[in-house]
Structure 1
């Protein structure tokens, strides 16, 4: 809960054989949010309690993610806390949310949108630190030559997400 409102603080890709504790930077999050990482635990979706505001948010997140992957949702409506990023990162993450479903832009265009036209590398770095992959659609940013560029979750996942949105990619 942040100011009495439940908000997501992280949602990202995990490989099938990776535990969330091994993938998330708990040290950074516990320092930023002031909680004890020993209190963090995995709760299966089937055990989440819809009467708890925090767990309601997790259930909504799961439902919206499933809808997106089934092709029935194009935009996420979830309360996110972006405060773990720098002001520049937050600005980039906000701008990413303005890229429409099924559209792509270049890193250079994104840099222009955040008033840093020569900062495409800084934008790419901020893009890679996005704590909400898919929800904040960093996969919609590609290289100026139309190629995929990079993606923290892996280029196969970026290509999959873009194809899900009807975007054909260059190899």
Structure 2
């Protein structure tokens, strides 16, 4: 696996190579953030460190649900929290068909458990990396709250909350 500096430089060079898309999106996000009176809590560097930590140290990439500042509707979080996921999240960047553009993320809720299929007649085996996930968030000083088995990471938060 590449080192973090290479990972970071690659992200920055790809973002810089999109002069028509990224600045317009950044401007749109800034307007929405001001209109909704949101406070930014994350930046690209923290998101990249989180992605890198997951890719480097986890046995699976936790499933997640994301709400972007630009989204007009709320995702259905109840169904996400209901059962241990049987699928992995894609923690790569938007240009690799993964997470949305990092500065657009209002919040991301991750479920750091995975149910591995063992057969039709055998219960799935649950792999739980919740403590490791929580330790990574604390180590990186990432703002989050734990809600049952999930962790909500805030890119932006309402001023009143």
Q: Considering fraction of residues, name the structure with more strand.
A: 2
Q: TM-score, normalised by structure 2?
A: 0.32
**Higher relative contact order structure (alpha carbons within 8 Å, sequence separation ≥ 6):** 2
**TM-score, scaled to structure 1:** 0.31
